[in-house]
Structures are given as structure tokens and as C-alpha cells.
Amino acid sequence: MTEKTVSKRRLLGIAGLGWMFDAMDVGMLSFIIAALKVDWDLTPQQMGWIGSVNSIGMAIGALLFGLWADRIGRKNIFIITLLLFSLASGFSALTTSLFLFLVLRFFVGMGLGGELPVASTLVSESVAAKERGRVVVLLESFWAFGWLLAALISYFVIPSYGWRIALIISALPALYAIYLRLNLPDSPAFSPKKVEKRTVFQNVRDVWSKKYARSTFVLWMVWFTVVFSYYGMFLWLPSVMVMKGFSMIQSFEYVLIMTLAQLPGYFTAAWLIERVGRKFVLVTYLLGTAASAFVFGEAETTAVLIVSGIFLSFFNLGAWGALYAYTPEQYPAVIRGTGTGMAAAIGRVGGILGPLLVGALVSAGQSISFIFTLFCISIVIGVITLALLGKETKQIELT
């Protein structure tokens, strides 16, 4: 076994472990929202705000920590964001009011939003071009393991022991990831000497310079439409199942089954991305997501609901993996953290609006079919933008 192989696997394992714990918290939030509705007698609008305040924090975190990643390094931001996320997640288990819960979820979101784009940037810069896309998609696949853990914890813990215990469990493993990351080297592409000559404002301006404006526009459109639909659909998934007539326990069971489909979605995307390119994988998997969302919204039988939910998880999470591989490849190292963070921040704006829109539409009496059709249309808009204006970055050398 060569040192290069060990280094790559170690990097993937360390970054992926934190990614998994973050996903576990986000995944559990969808189940916790369903539990809090019963425990705190929440309205649909209040339920929507829990998901949205998390995304508000993610938007601000992605922007600020993305900017700082180009100033103080990818590794330092890794440690800071994970510490912020883990502490806020643990404290949120102690809250007794919706207001305090929302405040802490904002800080959880900041840590999560800052960590994810920086993690993909670090891995992208540390892996050879011929396997970069595959490795980044494999990094993103840890998200599925996190969601699977979230579904298992939610199914076995929340009904018997309550949502507070589940949140405490979600905070504990993140502290272990901090220990691992203390020994993680920074990106080989990050140069303190180069960043000393640049300002944050210069980095932001360069992201929208003539050379990168087209790529930035495409990324912002795709990120917004994908995150808008993802958080609108998946944070409400257990609650939607309840609205369709299933008990909370049944909804947890079915969402657990759907979550398992995320893994083959990631692995097939990882296999395809170096063979057919980023654009093909993104366009194909996003169209699959749109079609699955439409069928899920229209489903009237348990079989159709579960099968369409499985395909929804398969295609959507495969597309996420490709998007995280595609985004850092659009920029040079000096503005890569800034460009990736800004795109993720715009996406999180969609993540704010998605859950709020669902809450408002449910309160207004709109059908689940109508709501999921809107998400289908959103994804198609992102696909058209990418297909017409996006550039292929398969196996390019990062500068």
C-alpha cells in the first residue's frame, strides 16, 4: 500500500466522518420536527421555521466561512465549524421553548453550512485530477450513512426516549471528529503567502469577474433550485407521510427504507462521474429527482409512495455528490473557498424558502401534489441552466 493511497483514504475518512455526523443532525431534524409538533403543539408555519432557521444559519455560515477559508486555510475552518456545530447541537437538547431552540439551530446551521463546502474544497485540492470527482462523490456518500443513522436513532430513540436524547446522541460523535482533524494537514493548494496579498473584497469581485461570471451564474442557479427543493421535500418528508394518513412510527419506517436508496445513488454517481462527466451525471440525476418528486406528490397508494420515495432519494443524493464535485472545479485556488462558499450560501437561501413555502401552502390548504410539482419545476429550471450554460470540468487540473 503506497503512502498516497493511505493519505487519500485517511483524508476521505476524516473528512467523511464529520460529514456523516453533520448529515445525522440534519436528517434527525426532519424527525424531530414531527415529534416537536406533538410535544409543543406546533403550527405548520412554526414547523417550517425550524427548517428554515437552520438554512439561514447555513447560508451565513457558508458565506463567512467560505471567505475565511481563503484567508486562514481549509483545515482551520474545518475545526472551527465542527466545534460550533457540535456544541450548539448539544445545547439545543436542553431547550424548553421554540425561540431558544431556533436560536441554537441557527448556530448549528452556521457550523454545518461552513463545513460542507470547505470539506469538498479541501478534498478536491488534495486528490489527483483523474479520480477527484469520484473521491468527492464518495465523500458526499457519507451523508447517506449519516441520514441512515438519523433514521435509525429517530426510529428507536425518539418514540421511546424523546427527541432530547436523540439530539444529545447527535452531538457526541462530532467531538471525536475534532480530535481526528487536529492532525489533518491543510490543502496543498492553500498558500498563506498568496492570500496575504489579496483582500476578501477582491476575492468576491473576482468570483464575478468576466472570466468566472458564467460559471458563477450557473452554480448559483443550480445550487438554489437543488437546495430549495431538497430541504422543502426532505425536511417535511416524515410530516408529509403523516399527512398522507400514516402514523408517526409508520412514517419513520418508510423514510428509513427510502434513506437506504441514497447509498446506491451516491455509488453509481461516483462510478459514472469520471466516465461520462459532471454535467451528464448532474443533468440525468436531477431529471430523475424531478420525475420522482412529481410521482411522489401524486402517489395514492403505499407501494407507489415508497417506490417513488426510493427513487427520489437515489437520484437526489447522487446529484448532490456530483454538485459538490463540480463546484470547486470552477475556480482557481485563491478564490475557490470564496466561490464555493458563495454558491452554497445562495443555495441555502433556497433552503430557507423551501420549508417555509411548504408550511404556508399546507396552512392554505394546498395539496401535497401541488407542492411537489413546484419542486419538480424548480429542479427542471436548474437543469436547463446547467445544460445550456454549464461547462464540463471532467479531469481538469486545478490551479
* Single-letter amino acid, residue 352: I
Instruction: Output the pLDDT for position 153.
Output: 86
Question: What is the tens place of the pLDDT at every residue in 275-309?
Answer: 888 899 999 999 999 999 999 888 878 788 889 88
80 pLDDT above the threshold of 70: yes
Where is 58: in which H helix or E strand? helix 44-72
* Single-letter amino acid, residue 358: V
Q: Mean pLDDT over residues 93-100, rounded?
A: 91
Residue 266 pLDDT class (50, 70, 90 cuts): confident
Residue 377 pLDDT class (50, 70, 90 cuts): very high
Angstrom CA distances, 223 to 6, 10, 88, 154, 345, stand at: 33, 29, 26, 28, 9
Question: 162 — alpha (psi -120 to 50), left (phi > 0) or beta?
Answer: left
Question: What is the tens place of the pLDDT at every residue in 121-169?
Answer: 888 888 877 888 888 888 888 888 888 888 888 888 888 888 899 888 8
51 pLDDT above the threshold of 70: yes
Which of 171-180, 208-217, 355-364 ranks highest by mean pLDDT?
208-217
Contacts of 9 (CB under 8 A, 6+ apart): none
Contacts of 389 (CB under 8 A, 6+ apart): 214, 217, 218
21 pLDDT above the threshold of 50: yes
Q: Where are the domains of the chain?
A: 11-181+211-389
Mean per-residue pLDDT over the chain, rounded:
84
Domain 11-181+211-389, CATH 3.30.70.60 — does that match?
A: no
| Alpha helices, DSSP H, located in 277-363 | 278-298, 302-326, 333-363
Question: What is the tens place of the pLDDT at every residue in 168-206?
Answer: 887 877 777 677 666 667 677 666 655 556 778 888 899
Task: Output the pTM of the full model.
Answer: 0.79
Contacts of 97 (CB under 8 A, 6+ apart): none
**Which stretch of 53-57, 70-74, 318-322 has the lowest confidence by average pLDDT?**
70-74
Give me the phi and psi of 289, to 5 degrees please.
-65, -45
Is the torsion defined by CA of 347, 137, 289, 377 positive or negative? Answer: positive
Instruction: Output the pLDDT for position 5.
Output: 39
